[in-house]
């Protein structure tokens, strides 16, 4: 069993799960995802041009604090986790429209216990619930 993640894979899955679904609200969600990054870049450029360095510092500081808290809680993002090092896998259902289903994998790395968060597809996608159930079953088969 493995999870694969990449930027282009993420874009392809958004297209498949939102645009090809054919409903206006799912297509709108895809457009929102695609415009979020350019709008963020536009905001930073506007803030720099306007001399709003305090706003940039506040947003950058907030991002840094959130990253530090996440790191302090033991979350890491390794590319691979050996099955033998996994201690526990917990699942969170997610709330439709608010959060996504996810797994938290506790593992050891050089004697240190770390965690890896794996976000699963949105519950609004056609296969979101199925992927979550398959992930639960796969880990349950392995004793987690």
Q: What is the pLDDT confidence band of residue 62, given thresholds at 50, 70 and 90?
A: very high
pLDDT grade for 84, boundaries at 50, 70 and 90 = confident
Question: Does the structure show a pLDDT above 60 at 1?
Answer: no
The three-state secondary structure class of 115 is strand
Which among 138, 124, 132 has a CA at the least distance from the CA of 16?
124
**CA separation for the pair 79, 30 (Å, rounded):** 27
- The pLDDT tens digits of the residues spanning 7-50 come to 787 778 778 877 887 788 778 888 888 899 899 899 989 998 99
Token pair belonging to 19: 């645009």
């Amino acid at each position: 069993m493995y999870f694969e993640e990449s930027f282009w894979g993420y874009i392809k899955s958004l297209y498949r799960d939102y645009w090809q679904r054919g409903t206006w609200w799912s297509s709108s969600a895809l457009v929102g995802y695609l415009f979020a990054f350019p709008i963020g870049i536009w905001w930073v450029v506007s803030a720099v041009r306007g001399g709003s360095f305090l706003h940039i510092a506040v947003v950058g500081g907030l991002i840094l604090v959130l990253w530090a808290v996440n790191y302090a809680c033991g979350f890491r993002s390794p590319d691979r986790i050996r099955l033998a090092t996994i201690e526990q896998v917990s699942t969170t259902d997610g709330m439709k429209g608010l959060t996504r289903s996810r797994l938290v994998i506790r593992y050891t790395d050089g004697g240190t216990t770390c965690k890896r968060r794996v976000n699963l597809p949105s519950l609004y996608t056609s296969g979101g619930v199925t992927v979550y159930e398959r992930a639960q079953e796969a880990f349950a088969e392995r004793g987690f």
